[in-house]
Chains A and B, each alone.
Chain A
Amino acid sequence: MPAPPQDRISRNASPETPADEVADNAPQALAPDAKLKFRTGDSVIADRVFRGLTIICAVAVFVIVGLVLFELVLQSRLSLHKFGLHFLTKTIWDPVIEDFGALPFIYGTIVSSLVGLVIAVPLSVGTALFLTEICPRRIRAVLSLCVELLAAIPSVIYGVWGMFVLVPFLRVYLQPALARYFGWTGLFGGQNFGFGMLAAGIIIAIMILPIIASITREVVVAVPRQQREAALALGATKWEMLRMAVLRNARPGIFGAIILGLGRAFGETMAVTMVIGNSPAIARSLFAPGYTLASVIANEFTEATGNMHLSALVEMGLVLFVLTLIVNALANLLVWSIKRRNPGRGLA
């Protein structure tokens, strides 16, 4: 029995429906809503279940972030209760008398990250500009693969390389030279171990280069072509075009990329732990060993015996979490603002 032509829906609905029943119902098939729901009932429920499952996954992301915060606060309650806000301003770190302060570690985290940024920002912004604006097409693929590989090398391998190659190089060549020519600044002086803030800064710089470069590249690509053409048409040289049309438009996004790199730098653990020297002191010289929030957790957590010591270490984690949360939120807002405004012309 051939099905009437208006019977499209029921034919697709479910194979179990007997053909004659379909034919009987055919005249009303398109009209009442209830009928349609009956025919496709399984699918409506299945769709809801499917949607529900994906929503559960999405909500799980919130739950994870919430759990991170909750557990950090829960596990550091002893230390939070005992030291309060003084934890952030004290310089003592003594597991024996159970007196803990985070200032040298916060200082070490921020200073080593800033040293990293000072080195990484010009290099990575330069790389991004080179890749998008200057580079011949053939070299572009190779160079961007190099940058990607730099991002893929694990932290611990940077650490091994830093310990056995970079630190001896700094001790024997770079640091004596810096001390001789720039010693008057006070930043490069004192004892020269090789291990210290400068080594950590250099390692951090290498590790955050790829992220700053790739995000800068995205926001630079998002600058409308007309801006460049307008600048060139007015007689600007290529550099003037880059400066006036590209960099000025992409500035908030590049700033966001830099801050995102800073967030990464704060959280770097293994490589920094292996080269920074691990000594909780605040010194002016970049040659001096330091300590970071992440490093002290990595070094002392498994060996900590007292509950107060553990709790103080978790509170270090909490400080680190809050620092990176603020920095990352700020950075993402900046990057989003620029990409949203100019939806871009795809990756070049």
Chain B
Amino acid sequence: MPSPQSHNIKWTRRVSNYFALGTITIFALIVTVPLFLILGTVVYHGISGLNLDFFTQNPKPMGEAGGGMANAIVGSLMILAMASAIGVPFGIGTGIYLAEFGRNAYGNVVRFTVDVLNGVPSIVIGLTAYALVVVTQKHFSATAGAIALGIMMVPTVSRTTEEVLLLVPHTIREAALGLGIPQWRTTLSVVLPSAMSGVVTGIILAFARIAGETAPLLFTALGNRFWNVKIGQPTAALPLQIYLDALSPYDDDHRLAWTGALVLISMIVLATVTFRFVTSRGVKEAG
């Protein structure tokens, strides 16, 4: 952006200006490179194994060709459903508290704790779920994995809920309260519905985050090469199965890992793009 007096600017300043701005631009472009590299290789290696078998077969014994991840997909869905049942209510409740009652010092302490929980490494959450559930029940189970993942959902859901509830204009709350509607009805029937798309997308975002989590499942859900739909038993999960297949010495397993990665990444990218699309539309409508 040349200013009117640009001929007065010393050439060193002008050069350093272009140099710095150019460097910043290049850095920003470099950042996109790994994304396309990763997406590209996952699609390239994964697409060949994408067939009906992948979705309908269980893993074959180590080293045998063929097989799929049907049990892992079902196991993942099972664990994720349970995790959402745990994480979403607590997350929304905390979000409501922060937005409606937490505009004070207590609220700040809660907010800080939510941030702390958000920063706890997933493997440490896994250790905690192991100690709480696996040690007391004396066996690995889908429940233990779901508890670990449910805990991990809480910070994301509560922070997004708080943010979107605060976007609801205060006049709407005042109008509802002015009509004599009690506070709880105001929050649940007036404020929350008008922020619903935001809350839902927050849940999708949290869901996408935990859908790819592997570390907390290693010693809670443990994994399983066979069918299992009992919540009290060791259960396979998609990311876990990808990990095990990638570490296996056989090429056939590597192929499965790539296909699994492709399926997992498609699910997550879809969820993220939906999130982005819905939130940006919401902002446009509001502004």
A interface residues with partner B (beta carbon < 8 Å): 8-9, 12-13, 40, 43-44, 46-47, 49-51, 53-58, 60-62, 64-65, 67-68, 71-72, 74-75, 122-127, 129-131, 134-135, 141, 143, 145-150, 152-161, 163-165, 206, 209, 213, 235, 237-240, 242-243, 260, 263-264, 266-270, 274, 294, 297-298, 301-302, 314, 317, 320-321, 324-325, 327-329, 332
**Which residues of B lie under 8 Å from residue A270 when comparing CB positions?**
214-215, 239, 243
Interface set, chain B 24-51, CB cutoff 8 A to A: 24-28, 30-32, 34-35, 37-39, 41-42, 45
Known contacts: A46-B182, A156-B212. The answer to whether A74 contacts B131 by CB under 8 A is: yes
A240 CB contacts on chain B under 8 angstroms? 13, 17
Do residues B127 and A65 form an inter-chain contact, with CB atoms below 8 A?
Answer: no
Nearest residue, chain B, Cβ from A74: B131
Tell me which of B57-65, B98-106, B194-202, B225-233 binds A: B98-106
Verify A165–B215 contact, CB threshold 8 A.
no
CA of A71 to CA of B260, assembled, Å: 34
A148 vs B32: C-alpha distance in the bound complex, in angstroms?
11
CB nearest to A205 among chain B residues: B34
| Chain B interface, DSSP helix/strand/loop, else mixed | helix
259-276 of chain B: CB within 8 A of chain A: 261, 264-265, 268-269, 271-273, 276
Provide the bound-state CA to CA distance between A8 and B180, in Å. 9
The interface residues of chain B lying within 8 Å CB-to-CB of A163 are: 246
**Known A146-B35, A267-B122, A274-B247; contact A61-B17, beta-carbon cutoff 8 A:** no
Q: Is the CB of B212 within 8 A of A155?
A: yes
Cβ distance B267 to chain A, nearest Cβ, rounded Å: 10
Please determine whether A54 and B101 come into contact, CB atoms closer than 8 angstroms.
yes
A165 with B41: in contact, given A67-B132, A159-B243 (CB under 8 Å)?
yes
- The answer to whether A64 and B214 have CB atoms under 8 Å apart is no
* B residues whose Cβ falls under 8 Å from a Cβ of A: 1, 3, 5, 9, 13-14, 16-17, 20-21, 23-28, 30-32, 34-35, 37-39, 41-42, 45, 89-94, 96-98, 100-102, 110, 112-117, 119-125, 127-128, 130-132, 135, 151, 154, 158, 179-185, 187-188, 208-209, 211-215, 218-219, 222, 239, 242-243, 246-247, 254, 257-258, 261, 264-265, 268-269, 271-273, 276, 280
CB-CB nearest in chain A for B89:
A57
A-B contact pairs, 19 of them (CB 8 A): A50-B183, A60-B94, A68-B128, A71-B128, A123-B30, A135-B28, A152-B272, A155-B212, A157-B261, A160-B257, A206-B34, A239-B17, A267-B120, A270-B214, A297-B123, A298-B215, A298-B218, A302-B219, A317-B127
Main SS of chain A's interface residues? helix
Residues of B within 8 A of A60 (CB): 90, 94, 154
Least Cβ distance of B58 to chain A in Å?
Answer: 20
- Residues of B within 8 Å of A145, CB to CB, are 273, 276
CA distance A165 to B273 in the complex (A): 26
Cβ A149 vs Cβ B21 within 8 A: no
A315 to chain B, nearest CB (A): 10
Nearest Cβ in chain B — how far from A29, in angstroms? 12
Could you say which residues of chain A place their CB within 8 Å of the CB of B273? 145
Nearest CB in chain B to that of A333: its residue: B112
B253 to chain A, nearest CB (A): 11
Alpha-carbon distance A243/B208, docked complex (angstroms): 37
Q: Which residue of the partner chain B has the closest CB to A66?
A: B113
Whether A150 contacts B34 in the complex (CB less than 8 A), given A12-B179, A130-B28, A157-B42, comes out as yes
B121 touches A324 (CB 8 A): yes
- A127 B31 Cβ-Cβ under 8 A: yes
Instruction: Assess the A274–B246 pair: CB atoms within 8 A.
Output: yes
In the assembled complex, the CB of A109 is this many whole angstroms from the nearest CB of chain B, namely 10
Least CB distance from A210 to B in Å reads 9
With the chains together, A341 CA to B213 CA distance in Å?
A: 36
Q: Nearest A residue to B210 by beta-carbon distance?
A: A154
Q: How far is the CA of A269 from the CA of B124 in the complex (A)?
A: 10
Q: A134-B25, A317-B127 are in contact. Are A332 and B112 (CB under 8 A)?
A: yes
Whether A239 and B20, one on each chain, are in contact in the complex, defined by CB atoms closer than 8 angstroms, is yes
Partner among A43, A294, A320, A328 whose Cβ is within 8 Å of the Cβ of B115: A328
